[in-house]
Amino acid sequence: MTLREYISNPMGKGASATGDATALKEQYQNESRDLGLSGHGIVDCYNVSKRQIVFHFKLPSKSGQKYDSNLHYDIVIAMDINDVKKAKSILDCEMKVFSNCPSFIYTYANLFIRKKMIIPWLEAHYNAATRRTVASRSNPYDVINYERSLYITALRIETQYGSTKPLDLVNQATQILEANLKHLVQTQDVASANFRSAKTAYQQSQATPATPAPSPRQKANVKEGVATTKATKGTAKTRTTKTTKRTSKI
């Protein structure tokens, strides 16, 4: 599958999008536009070991932003560099993908693995359960449809690189080794753990009672250096001397 095919109709030729699919497509298009306007829509382009052109996008976690603004998912799209050199547009190059976004993992990851559409050197970033378990509930008919992380990434690539000549892209892409790029991409388990950790930290911070603000009188006493500690019941009273006739005269 090419980027152009996925953007136009991921279900393939002859298949018509349902009303729900069309609504999702419009929603993701709006999200992609908003990411671009906010400055969070930048896709990195790499020349990996002079064998592949790879796009890496860090998609902000939609549900995790309130916990930590740095929470994100990694979406990677790879193309053979020889195909890119021959193509008129990168949108027409065959692609392999990777995404550690839950919406992709639990609906499409296993299907893409079986169809040999997952980037081989990132397949191990999925845990064993994902690699062996078919999504029989979320995708019983093995249909490739519009998926948020992958579709938004495809749109961002089209916006940022769609008009760039493929040869120029090959020459301008950042050189990187495959092993080094692998370290920039979170595994499924690491992305999940980061989300849980941020959520727990946020909930704990919300549960901690706030220190009450000092009253105006307390603020004034502190400013004047006056102690505000109250005497406790256990504090002994000061004994006074009994008045005598002599002391009265004095």
Mean pLDDT of 60-84: 96
Burial class of 111 by CB neighbour count within 10 A (0 to 12, 13 to 18, 19+): middle
Does residue 209 fall inside a structural domain?
no
Does residue 187 fall inside a structural domain?
yes
Asked whether the beta carbons of 138 and 108 are under 8 A apart, the reply is: no
Does residue 230 fall inside a structural domain?
no
Q: Is the pLDDT of residue 44 over 70?
A: yes
Mean pLDDT of 41-53: 97
Q: Is the pLDDT of residue 95 over 80?
A: yes
Burial class of 122 by CB neighbour count within 10 A (0 to 12, 13 to 18, 19+): buried
Position 13 scores a pLDDT of 64
Does residue 236 fall inside a structural domain?
no
Does residue 225 fall inside a structural domain?
no
Q: What is the C-alpha separation between 139 and 145, in angstroms, rounded?
A: 10
Position 233 scores a pLDDT of 52
Does residue 202 fall inside a structural domain?
no
Q: How many domains does the chain have?
A: 1
**Binning pLDDT at 50, 70 and 90, where does residue 215 land?**
confident
Does residue 198 fall inside a structural domain?
no
Q: What is the C-alpha separation between 134 and 146, in angstroms, rounded?
A: 18
Structural domain span for residue 185: 3-191
Mean pLDDT of 204-222: 73
Does residue 35 fall inside a structural domain?
yes
Q: pTM here?
A: 0.81
Q: What is the C-alpha separation between 135 and 230, in angstroms, rounded?
A: 67
